[in-house]
Amino acid sequence: MDRRQFLSLKKNNLNDGDNKPKVERRTNTGLAKYNGTWTKAEAAHLLRRTLYGPKVSEINAFASKTVSQAVDALLDTSGYSFLPPVNNYQNQTPDTAVAYGSTWVNAPLNVNLEGSRKVSLKSWLWSLPARQKTTIMEKMIVFWHNHMPVQIQDIPLASLAYFYVKVLNDYALGNFKTLVKQITVDPAMLYYLNGRLNTKNAPDENYARELQELFTLGKGPNSKYTEDDVKAAARVLTGFNINFTTTPFSTGFSAVNHDSTNKTFSSFYGNKTISGKTGVTAGSLELDDLLGMIFSVEEVSKHICRKLYRFFVYYEIDANSEANVIEPLAKIFRDNNYEIKPVLKALLESEHFYDQWNRACVIKDPLTHQAGLVRQWEMSFPTATDYETNYQIYAVGSYFGQITQMNLGDPPSVSGWEAWYQMPLYHRIWLNSDSLPKRNQFQDYLMWIGHKVKSFTFIVDPWVVTKQFSDPKNADKLIADACEFLLPLALSNSQIASLKEILLPGGIPDYNWSDEYRAATDSGDPNHTTALSTATSKLRSLYKNIMNLSEYQLS
């Protein structure tokens, strides 16, 4: 089936949230380990879903591994570093507390600088995927940011938002139950969902509701917690606050504002009673009891596995996928005490993940499209100590994300971005008559013009990737390699012919490109300067035309 036709089909019986699916069967494959062919096509599929813009070298390297070796490499974060944002704004807004190039995340509140620091933070946040190593970490940070979001614009201190991101990083591939506990008492989350205002005399149910409805149990038919459960959970969480006397602000707890009475829950939780506690540890102890109760319900594991499935595999979960993938995956999650790595390993090694039905069927989110483009073309950044120029480049990526519906750092709501949960469109939400032209504008801007900051121009150098192809002086092989690299689908003969016309206009013989390529890459050739100029222009045009195809928007 033509994949573009497949993506445009009208779906009538889509599932809402975690409700039992009613769509027709797509595939009956499951979690059995994939034992099919392992070529660059399979390696590229894995990397397109787990990285932002896989490089030629990465695809080639992963094609030489086994599926288990490939997945293990992606889950290995031993060489990963998480460096905080720095003062890049000194020339625009002088910061007497933080030297240029030093991090501001531990600086005291300065109402005149928080705006600049938030811009710095959002720019830095965009740079993480654009400059990522070969690890799934950046995808997982965005996954958790979408799953348990805060909005940076609503957080008064930029450093609070940074430390929220750091929590996501620290536990991205760790224990989910521990991550939920850390997020629950994270100062940014306490501010965003009003946990800081939750006291025994005025219980605030905001976080207690989202904890169950969005973060752990979901909204499916088997998530039958009650309004009274929300109220009881809110009472458990009373007393947590933000300590504004520390630098930076930190989590606090007021025993006098904590409801120390017993809290009894509904039959959904087995009529569990959490005993009220007193003293400075009361909040933490009761939170442990609350999470222990919630995580004893199997629906937690299923909800998170469905979210992972929609993020990494496909947005629809039919009856076969529920039975063959979600349920056994959820059991792995429970059997491993909610450790995240075993779940990802099982999913990414499965025959289901590499099923042809699950390839090239997802529309790239804006971050995958834009940061992925920068990374895939191996674009050169300024020297590391030129913080101002680097951050201005990051800001361009952040800006294009904002105008194409993915404002990284500020999801539209506590539910995250609609494309990962909103029926019936799901990922189709990313593309419309406004966002698609802006995506193309981003591509063309970096391919042809580049972003100029002072004396530096951030622009694609097409030769960096071209020279890594198998035989770039051969027009047919160059086009084949470029399409394999940039597209998850094969093109028709007429599309290939149209692309070849760019390199060999008017149907001139193939040796013309071979000669032009040799002259362009040989500085001693008498025609080098002219050939380099014309060949570079042809390469830019070739790649621009490939990226303007609808197939380029798919992963």
Write down the mean pLDDT value for the chain.
95
Whether the Cβ atoms of residue 38 and residue 63 lie closer than 8 Å to each other: yes
Mean pLDDT of 429-453: 98
Whether the Cβ atoms of residue 502 and residue 541 lie closer than 8 Å to each other: yes
In this predicted structure, the answer to whether residue 522 has a pLDDT above a threshold of 60 is: yes
- % of the chain with per-residue pLDDT over 70: 95
Asked, for residue 238, whether it belongs to a domain, the answer is yes
Query: pLDDT by residue (tens digit) across 471-497?
Result: 999 999 999 999 999 999 999 999 999
Name the domain boundary from 231, 266, 297: 297
Apex 152 CA angle, 403 and 131, nearest 5? 65
Between CA 88 and CA 394 the distance in angstroms is: 11
Query: pLDDT by residue (tens digit) across 33-90?
Result: 999 999 999 999 999 999 999 999 999 999 999 999 999 999 999 989 999 999 999 9
In this predicted structure, the answer to whether residue 383 has a pLDDT above a threshold of 50 is: yes
Here the tokens at position 546 are 């490939």
CA distances from 303 to 225, 299, 317, 330, 495 (A): 14, 6, 12, 8, 42
Amino acid at 267: S
* φ/ψ of residue 39, rounded to 5: -125, -170
Q: For the chain, give the number of residues.
A: 555
Between CA 262 and CA 274 the distance in angstroms is: 6
In this predicted structure, the answer to whether residue 91 has a pLDDT above a threshold of 80 is: yes
The pLDDT value given to residue 220: 87
The pLDDT value given to residue 21: 40
Mean pLDDT of 497-520: 98
- Tokens 């080639």 locate to 60
Element (H, E) at 243: strand 240-243
Asked, for residue 407, whether it belongs to a domain, the answer is no
Whether the Cβ atoms of residue 207 and residue 237 lie closer than 8 Å to each other: yes
Q: How many C-alpha atoms does 500 have within 13 Å on its Cβ side?
A: 21
Between CA 86 and CA 97 the distance in angstroms is: 12
Reference 344, options 537, 66, 135; nearest CA is 135
Residue 64: how many other CB atoms lie within 10 Å: 11
User: How many domains is the chain partitioned into structurally?
Assistant: 2
Reference 222, options 327, 69, 320; nearest CA is 327
- Tokens 């979901």 locate to 218
Q: How far is CA 102 from the centre of its chain?
A: 27
Whether the Cβ atoms of residue 100 and residue 90 lie closer than 8 Å to each other: yes
Asked, for residue 486, whether it belongs to a domain, the answer is yes
Between CA 381 and CA 463 the distance in angstroms is: 16
Question: Which residue range is the domain that position 483 belongs to?
Answer: 462-553
CA distances from 246 to 252, 301, 359, 483, 537 (A): 10, 37, 49, 54, 56
Name the domain boundary from 277, 297, 317: 297
pLDDT band per the 50, 70, 90 thresholds, residue 2: very low
Amino acid at 340: I
pLDDT band per the 50, 70, 90 thresholds, residue 457: very high
Mean pLDDT of 298-304: 98
Asked, for residue 224, whether it belongs to a domain, the answer is yes
Asked, for residue 402, whether it belongs to a domain, the answer is no
Query: pLDDT by residue (tens digit) across 324-368?
Result: 999 999 999 999 999 999 999 999 999 999 999 999 999 999 999
Name the domain boundary from 297, 321, 349: 297
Between CA 309 and CA 23 the distance in angstroms is: 16
Asked, for residue 433, whether it belongs to a domain, the answer is no
Asked, for residue 498, whether it belongs to a domain, the answer is yes
Q: Is 436 exposed, middle or buried (0-12, 13-18, 19+ CB in 10 A)?
A: middle
Q: Please list, in sequence order, all residues whose beta carbon lies within 8 angstroms of the beta carbon of residue 276, skipping any fewer than 6 positions away.
A: 259, 260, 261, 262, 263, 282, 286
Between CA 43 and CA 57 the distance in angstroms is: 11
Asked, for residue 487, whether it belongs to a domain, the answer is yes
In this predicted structure, the answer to whether residue 20 has a pLDDT above a threshold of 90 is: no
